[in-house]
Amino acid sequence: MTRFKTIAGAFTAALLATSLYTASPAFADPDSALAELQKTVLSKGPNGETPASAASIKLTDEELAKIKDMKATAAIVMHYGGNDWSRAQVAGLKDQFGKMGIDVIATTDAGFKPEKQVADLETVMAQNPKIIVSIPTDPSATASAYKAVADKGVKLVFMDNVPSGFVAGKDYVSVVSADNYGNGVAAAHLMAKALGGKGDIGLVFHAADFFVTKQRYDGFKKTIADNYPDIKIVAEQGIGGPDFTGDADKAASAILTSHPTINGIWAVWDVPAEGVISAARTAGRDDLVITTCDLGENVAINMASGGFVKGLGAQRPFDQGVTEALLAGYGLLGKEAPAFVALPALPVTKDSLLEGWKAVYHTEATDKIKSSM
In this prediction, residues 192-212 reach a mean pLDDT of 94
Range 295-333 burial, b when 16+ CB lie within 10 A, else e: bbbbbbbbbbeebbbbbbbbbbbbbbbbbbbbbbbbbbb
**pLDDT score recorded for residue 28:** 53
Q: What pLDDT sits at residue 25?
A: 44
For residues 67 and 93, state if they share a domain.
Answer: yes
Residue 36: pLDDT band with limits 50, 70, 90: confident
Mean pLDDT across 227-239 = 97
Instruction: Compute the distance between CA of residue 338 and CA of residue 56 in angstroms, rounded to an integer.
Output: 10
Whether residue 135 sits in one domain with residue 279: no
Q: What is the mean pLDDT of the chain?
A: 91
Total domains in the chain come to: 2
**Whether residue 294 sits in one domain with residue 167:** no
151 and 75 in a single domain? The answer is yes
Q: Are residues 321 and 308 in the same domain?
A: no
pLDDT band at 370 (very low <50, low <70, confident <90, very high): very high
Domain with residue 191: its CATH number is 3.40.50.2300
Q: Are residues 248 and 334 in the same domain?
A: no
Sign of the Cα torsion 65, 132, 363, 217 reads negative
Is 248 inside any structural domain?
Answer: yes
What integer pLDDT is reported at residue 10 of this predicted model?
37
Domain residues for the domain of 258 are: 180-314+349-372
Q: Do 54 and 78 have their domain in common?
A: yes
**Is 60 exceeded by the pLDDT of residue 225?**
yes
Same domain, 80 and 159: yes
In the chain, what percentage of residues exceed pLDDT 70? 92
- Overall average pLDDT of the 21-44 stretch: 74
CB within 8 A of 280, min separation 6: which ones? 252, 256, 265, 286, 288, 290, 308
CA angle 296, 301, 305 (to 5 degrees): 150
User: Residue 59: inside a domain, yes or no?
Assistant: yes
User: pTM to 2 decimals?
Assistant: 0.82
Reported as a pLDDT band with limits 50, 70 and 90, residue 313 is: very high
Q: Which amino acid is at 149?
A: V
